[in-house]
Amino acid sequence: MSGEYRGDYQELVDEISALLGVPATLENRDFELIAFGAYDSEGDLDPSALDPVRTRSILTRRSTTAVRTWFEGFGITRASGPVRIPPTPEAGVYRGRICLPVRHRSVVLGYVWLLDDDPGPTDAQLAAAMQVTSRIGALLADEAQAGADLTRELRAVLTAERGWQRDMAVAELRTALGPRGEGLHAVLCVAPWPSADPDDAPSARTVPGATALCTVPWGTTGQSLALLVRLRSADVLTPALTAATRFVREAEGGRGEDAAGAGPGGAGGRAAAGVSGARVGLGELGAAWQEAASAARAALAEPRLGPVAQWNAIGPYRLLTALPPDAAHDPVVQALLAPAHRELARTAEVFLDLAGQAGRTAAELGIHRQTLYYRLSRVEQLTGLDLDDGEDRLLLHMALKGARL
């Protein structure tokens, strides 16, 4: 949800809470949490109000498909007025609910949820609350339209060829964003993403600081998720890092076992995220996306960098990910990368990572120095390289890192 709307939603939910004297929760029609009313004091927090369904909704900011289907079974998608739902402990609903459908031009866009007490709100109070839901519906409709446009335009920028095509796409996105486009932001990439279907993508309005979100092709057959996130400071990437962590979890949860081995990096069922450096304005949005995608590739290739990697922390992968796919592979390591020599390859990489310090390398690998020296001599035999030569070391190091990609 954009900051332009977030405060309005919170104020309207608080208004409903004040009208009815009970905490209210606002979700969109996909049951993703948008805002919830605060309790007046800790003494008002009845532990029985925090049944499993309500707790999960607040903590994860969304409900499961099963919960959504269960509630929709009470006709809330068709209702134009309040719907009372009885407590059902076996479904994890310990307290009854009152659902206020949020509509705009007869289309349901979300729901306001209330805990049903005895005595509950009067008909007059509920009628007043429904007036507030009409204002919420207008906001949701405005934001949904803006979000849809930005999704299309963000994807156009990230997939356009450099030159006039990208310049035109950036100009369209800048027009759609208005003054917001001139602010400070970062781009994040989550890959692999389990689906290209827009209906399966999360809503940007559920992500604090998000301006636009879309899916982008990843590799030859996969998909990634791109997100444009506003920042308050170039040195504080917290909004982007928080969103990246959330979406990595969602990507891994949505891929299932069929994803083994899928996507660049050979990460199997793992997903990773990359975060670009901060940018002002949209002029370098294409470059920021390349940074984010490169950081995601690095995190998939090198688990110690992930699951969320920042562009400025991926070291040599900043150069390696900029190379064409085949250019990062050098025949000098072909024999070394054979399955039979996996331990030798690891030994060489650790040795080079530790700047050729034999003592640290032996300790890291848990082997004697003599064993290390023997393995390094075997590496030299297999590659034809001299590990006392700086350029040979550099070639071997980059070839081993490139092979991970």
**Dihedral of CA 294/295/300/304: which sign?**
positive
Domain 325-404: give its CATH architecture: Orthogonal Bundle (1.10)
Hey, which bits of 197-342 come out as E strands?
A: 210-218, 222-230, 272-275, 279-280, 308-310
Whole-structure pTM value? 0.62
Q: How far apart are CA 195 and CA 197, in angstroms?
A: 5
Give pLDDT, residue 262.
Answer: 43
Structural contact between residues 275 and 295, judged by C-beta atoms closer than 8 angstroms = yes
Q: How far apart are CA 156 and CA 214, in angstroms?
A: 10
Q: How far apart are CA 193 and CA 248, in angstroms?
A: 9
Phi, psi of 304 (to 5 degrees): -65, -20
Q: How far apart are CA 354 and CA 346, in angstroms?
A: 12
pLDDT < 70 regions, the chain: 1-7, 38-62, 91, 144-149, 198-200, 205, 254-268, 328
Instruction: State the distance between the two ends of the chain, measured CA to CA, in whole angstroms.
Output: 34
Give pLDDT, residue 178.
Answer: 77
Q: How far apart are CA 333 and CA 347, in angstroms?
A: 13
Find all residues with CB under 8 Å of 11, minimum gap 6, and list them.
none
* CA-wise closest residue to 332 among 398, 376, 264, 389: 398
Give pLDDT, residue 179.
Answer: 75
How many CB atoms are closer than 10 A to CB 357? 12
Q: Are strands 184-193 and 279-280 parallel, antiparallel or unpaired?
A: antiparallel
- b/e map 254-278, b = 16+ CB within 10 Å: ebeeebeebbbbebebbbbbbbbbb
**Dihedral of CA 109/211/155/217: which sign?**
negative
In CATH terms, the superfamily for domain 3-145 is: GAF domain (3.30.450.40)
- 135: tokens are 């204002």
- 102: tokens are 């949020």
Q: How far apart are CA 133 and CA 47, in angstroms?
A: 27
